[in-house]
């Protein structure tokens, strides 16, 4: 596969080689093929993150060329089975599948198909065994995967615990958590060439002697920033929890019991940590292995970074999602159309396995041995709205279960059909499919519910199986201009029912939710719910309904309001286990903005005295234009960081002067009391007055906004840290969504891990 420059879509003719290098005789002008109806937001994301670029980072292909590049590259997977004569027809089928926005594959496939790199998989799991050689081999292999655009999952459960014996040196072991830091540093160095950031999943079994240290290893959010972490919960642990008794800790080196812990104590630690900052997540490892389709080929130890794809060591998986928003016709689910999309998507993903350029020989061997694919969905919230079904209702749960049962059934039928023509996956003998009733199966798994942050932006639909994030929101575009975005179905209903107004949409954008707007009819408010309108139990029930008919796992974030208690989180974990989920990720709104000083079952937020103003500070003064005149902002720091802000405009004694002085004093008080500067910036940024002005292509909308901009200019916060702590996108400043252990910006397409 080559990485040649591309001609414009209108210039691709039968005499020229189109993206993807199909044989010349099969070329047709792209200008005569259907064009994708990408939104303006999707086009921004495509230009920034997906289209091929030259050395000046300028796009050198169009969206149509991207889709043709991918389609024609994937169509070559037919050649060993159907011959070259099928390639043109398959390329056109794949092109129409994506151009319709009915189906979008995972990001590495869009980025790399038909290019020199050619690495198309998103998910990998690497083994980490109990030796220095194995540990650093895993780091090396992870670096190669991250460089190629993939994410990696690791189980550190085989590494001997801290202070255990090291026989070769007569020393003591440093334990799995210390080695995770080495993995994290290596990931930070790679950064995947700027297109995808390195992402890892770190897992430790609950019966590992170092489990308590692992649970608390991300209490400081500036540590292990390239890791999501999850505890592998066993059935035995859950039984001990129910019976309120101890359970055994086992040394992985000797396999012997080396101690016992109270299950309740450990569970409380997991709950408290997740309540305070969203981590660790949990996976139910025994449940995962009960669903292992090839137990004779190995045991599942870990998942990919967002938790939805359990894999054997050295396996990879290729994912793609169906846009459910397009599966409604005349107010009903169009099963005929959905069936055809499923069958075409299974063909597409199986061809990914054929043409993929794998980063390691071992990964290629294991991937081809099991041929796992993961077909999932996005736009579920849009589907429910189109059908008039509230997300938090039994009707929605029933729809989720019936819908996924249909997708499972049809994807298995498509895989069986491929198996009859192309051959079964090599590990089929001895697998769960090896029965007279299923003589053919091409893929060991066919379904996964993955997070779809950026690809759902391309498809113009809601993310995965999540509720809507907001009914209306403000998106920043060029030159910091703000554009009001309203969910199209809500806008349509609002106009039909006569309550639409630009002013109302702006007010909704300030909250995201419409539940407090009594001028909106109750039946409309009932259907158009957003994530924080949905109680956690309904989130879990929807996840469990999808899990019933999903081979792999389901990525979903269970959102809690800020005032939720640890008991609420505990109930969610227990319910998820009882309902058959394979794991759970929770996020309590705003939890990462607050530094909890004492994590306990009933936390208290102690009142604090600000530290004294130091005798000597270092500072800088910046002049910034506002609608009220020139504002001079001085920011001072001491040995602990920012400690005070002074702002001055005009003569003392005026009303504006007194308001600016009050704002500055309160900022200084907050900074010396330990409030993070990012939290201060977030509170001040965007406060408006009647007289906004422009400065260097950026709008200054008030004096408070000006002070925030100066603070932000000098803060120089770390990108990933700022994204996690502020709830704001580090690229464009818009609000981010928490999805499946990841953060995603729907405004510009930024994603921490996908």
Q: Is 182 helix (H, G, I), strand (E, B) or coil?
A: helix
For Cα atoms 60, 64, 69, give the angle at the middle one, nearest 5 degrees.
Answer: 75
| CA 290 remoteness from chain centre | 26
d(CA 754, CA 742): 8
Number of neighbours of residue 590 by Cβ within 10 angstroms: 13
| CA 746 remoteness from chain centre | 11
What are the residue ranges of helices labelled H in 20-105? 40-49, 63-75, 79-82, 87-99
Q: Give yes or no for a contact between 426 and 407, defined as CB atoms under 8 angstroms apart.
A: no
Specify burial of residue 262 (Cβ count, 10 A radius: 0-12, 13-18, 19+): middle
306 is catalytic: yes
d(CA 30, CA 197): 32
Using the 8-state DSSP alphabet, how is residue 629 labeled? E
For Cα atoms 273, 122, 739, give the angle at the middle one, nearest 5 degrees.
Answer: 35
Q: Give yes or no for a contact between 638 and 668, defined as CB atoms under 8 angstroms apart.
A: no
d(CA 408, CA 551): 8
Q: Output the six-digit token pair for 38.
A: 């990408």
Euclidean distance between the first and the last CA atom of the chain, given in angstroms as a whole number: 24
Q: Is 144 helix (H, G, I), strand (E, B) or coil?
A: helix
In the set 226, 277, 304, 552, the catalytic residue is 304
315 is catalytic: no
Using the 8-state DSSP alphabet, how is residue 18 labeled? P
In the set 308, 678, 737, 739, the catalytic residue is 308
217 is catalytic: no
Q: Give yes or no for a contact between 520 and 514, defined as CB atoms under 8 angstroms apart.
A: yes
Phi, psi of 634 (to 5 degrees): -110, 130
In the set 112, 226, 292, 306, the catalytic residue is 306
For 466, residues 6+ apart whose C-beta sits below 8 A from its C-beta are 380, 381, 531, 556, 557, 737, 739
Phi, psi of 668 (to 5 degrees): -60, -45
For 741, residues 6+ apart whose C-beta sits below 8 A from its C-beta are 201, 228, 281, 305, 306, 307, 555, 557, 585, 753
Half-sphere CA count of 548, side-chain side, radius 13 A: 18
For the chain, the residue count is 754
| CA 651 remoteness from chain centre | 51
d(CA 561, CA 369): 44
Which residues participate in catalysis according to the annotation?
Answer: 304, 306, 308
């Amino acid at each position: 596969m080559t990485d040649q420059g591309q001609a414009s879509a209108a210039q691709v003719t039968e005499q020229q080689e189109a993206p993807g290098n199909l044989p010349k005789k099969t070329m047709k002008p792209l200008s005569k093929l259907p064009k994708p109806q990408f939104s303006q937001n999707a086009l921004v994301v495509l230009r920034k993150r997906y289209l091929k670029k030259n050395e000046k980072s300028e796009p050198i292909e169009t969206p149509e060329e991207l889709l043709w590049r991918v389609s024609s590259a994937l169509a070559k997977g037919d050649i060993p089975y159907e011959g070259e004569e099928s390639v043109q027809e398959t390329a056109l089928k794949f092109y129409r599948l994506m151009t319709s926005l009915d189906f979008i594959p995972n990001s590495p496939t869009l980025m790399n198909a038909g290019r020199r790199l050619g690495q198309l998989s998103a998910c990998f799991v690497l083994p980490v065994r109990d030796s220095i050689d194995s540990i650093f081999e895993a780091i090396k292999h992870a670096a190669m995967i991250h460089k190629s655009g993939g994410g990696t999952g690791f189980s550190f459960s085989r590494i001997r615990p801290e202070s255990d014996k090291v026989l070769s040196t007569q020393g003591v072991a440093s334990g799995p958590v210390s080695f995770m830091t080495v993995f994290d540093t290596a990931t930070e160095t790679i950064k995947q060439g700027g297109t995808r950031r390195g992402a890892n999943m770190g897992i430790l079994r609950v019966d590992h002697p170092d489990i308590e240290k692992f649970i608390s290893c991300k209490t400081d959010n500036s540590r292990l920033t390239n890791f999501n972490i999850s505890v592998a919960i066993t059935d035995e642990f859950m039984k001990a929890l129910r019976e309120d008794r101890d359970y055994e800790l086992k040394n992985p080196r000797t396999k012997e019991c080396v101690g016992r812990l109270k299950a309740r104590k450990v569970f409380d630690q997991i709950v408290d940590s997740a309540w305070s900052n969203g981590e660790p997540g949990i996976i139910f490892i025994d449940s995962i292995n009960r669903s292992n389709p090839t137990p004779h080929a190995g045991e599942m130890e870990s998942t990919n970074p967002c938790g939805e794809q359990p894999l054997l060591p050295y396996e990879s998986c290729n994912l793609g999602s169906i846009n459910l928003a397009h599966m409604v016709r005349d107010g009903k689910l169009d099963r005929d159309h959905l069936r055809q999309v499923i069958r075409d998507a299974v063909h597409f993903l199986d061809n990914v396995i054929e043409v993929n350029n794998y980063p390691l020989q071992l990964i290629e061997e294991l991937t081809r041995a099991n041929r796992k694919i993961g077909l999932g969905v996005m736009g579920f919230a849009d589907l429910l709205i189109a059908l008039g079904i509230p997300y938090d209702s039994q009707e929605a749960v029933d729809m989720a279960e019936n819908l996924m049962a249909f997708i499972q059934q049809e994807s298995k039928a498509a895989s069986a059909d491929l198996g009859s023509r192309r051959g079964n996956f090599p590990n089929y003998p001895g697998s769960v499919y090896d029965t007279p009733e299923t003589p053919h199966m091409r893929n060991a798994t066919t379904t996964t519910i993955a997070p779809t942050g950026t690809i759902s932006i391309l498809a113009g639909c809601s993310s995965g199986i999540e509720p809507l994030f907001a009914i209306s929101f403000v998106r920043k575009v060029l030159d910091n201009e703000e554009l009001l975005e309203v969910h199209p179905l809500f806008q349509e209903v609002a106009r039909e029912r006569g309550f639409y107004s630009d002013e109302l949409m702006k007010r909704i954008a300030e909250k995201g939710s419409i539940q407090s707007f009594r001028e909106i009819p109750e039946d409309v408010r009932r259907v158009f719910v957003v994530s924080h309108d949905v109680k956690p139990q309904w989130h879990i029930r929807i996840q469990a309904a999808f899990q019933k008919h999903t081979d792999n796992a389901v990525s979903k974030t269970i959102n809690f309001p800020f005032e939720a208690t640890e008991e609420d989180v505990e109930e969610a974990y227990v319910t998820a286990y009882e309902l058959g989920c394979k794991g759970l990720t929770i996020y309590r709104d705003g939890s990462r903005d607050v530094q909890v000083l004492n994590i306990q079952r009933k936390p208290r937020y102690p009142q604090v005295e600000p530290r004294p103003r130091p005798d000597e500070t270092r500072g800088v003064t910046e002049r910034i234009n506002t609608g009220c005149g020139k504002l001079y902002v001085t920011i001072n720091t001491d040995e602990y960081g920012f400690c005070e802000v002074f702002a001055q405009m005009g003569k003392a004694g005026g009303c504006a002067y007194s308001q600016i002085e009050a704002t500055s004093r309160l900022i200084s008080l907050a900074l010396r009391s330990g409030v993070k500067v990012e939290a201060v910036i977030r509170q001040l940024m965007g406060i408006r007055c009647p007289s906004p002005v422009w400065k260097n292509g950026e709008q200054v909308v008030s004096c408070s906004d000006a002070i925030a901009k100066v603070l932000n200019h000098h803060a120089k916060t770390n990108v990933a840290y700022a994204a996690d702590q502020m709830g704001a996108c580090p690229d464009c400043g818009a609000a981010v969504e928490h999805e499946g252990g990841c953060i995603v910006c729907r405004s510009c397409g930024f994603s921490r891990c996908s």
